[in-house]
Amino acid sequence: GNSVTQMEGPVTLSEEAFLTINCTYTATGYPSLFWYVQYPGEGLQLLLKATKADDKGSNKGFEATYRKETTSFHLEKGSVQVSDSAVYFCALSDPKSSSNTGKLIFGQGTTLQVKP
C-alpha cells in the first residue's frame, strides 16, 4: 500500500543552520508529492509540491526534489529562522488510489525547533 515515512523529531537547530528533513515514500503509481507546514495552533499550509520525477518544489527558501530512483522528497533550507519552528508533513497523492477521491497520504510529521 501507499505510505510516507519521515525522520523522527524533534529536530532542534540554531538559527541560520542548514535544515534537512528526510521523507521517503511507497506508492503503486507515480505520485505527486507535497510538503505541508503546521505552525502552533494553526492548520496545515501547503509549503511546496512536485508532480513528477526530478521536479524541484520551492517556497520561502525551502526546497525539495522529487527523486524517483530513491523514492524520496527531502525538505531542505539553507538557513533556518526561529519563525520556521513548526511541524512539517510530507504527503503524497497517488493517481492509482487518489483519482476520484482526492486522498492524500501523510507522513507522521517532524517537529522543528529553531533556537535563537
The three cell numbers of residue 79 are 538557513
Q: 66 with 53: CB under 8 angstroms?
A: yes
The reply to whether 104 sits near another protein by the rule CB under 8 A is yes
The reply to whether 112 sits near another protein by the rule CB under 8 A is no
Tell me the HSE value of 78 on the side-chain side, using a 13 A CA sphere.
Answer: 4
Q: Which stretch binds another protein (CB under 8 A): 16-24, 28-36, 62-70, 72-80?
A: 28-36
Give min distance, CB of 79 to another protein, in A.
25
> What helix, strand, coil percent values describe the chain, rounded to 5?
5, 50, 45
**# residues contacting another protein (CB under 8 A):** 27
Show the binding pattern over residues 6-25: x = contacts another protein (CB under 8 A), - = does not.
--------------------
For another protein, the closer CB: 2 or 18 = 2
Strand 110-115, strand 11-14: pairing: parallel
Distance CA 81, CA 89 (A): 18
The reply to whether 111 sits near another protein by the rule CB under 8 A is yes
For another protein, the closer CB: 42 or 69 = 42
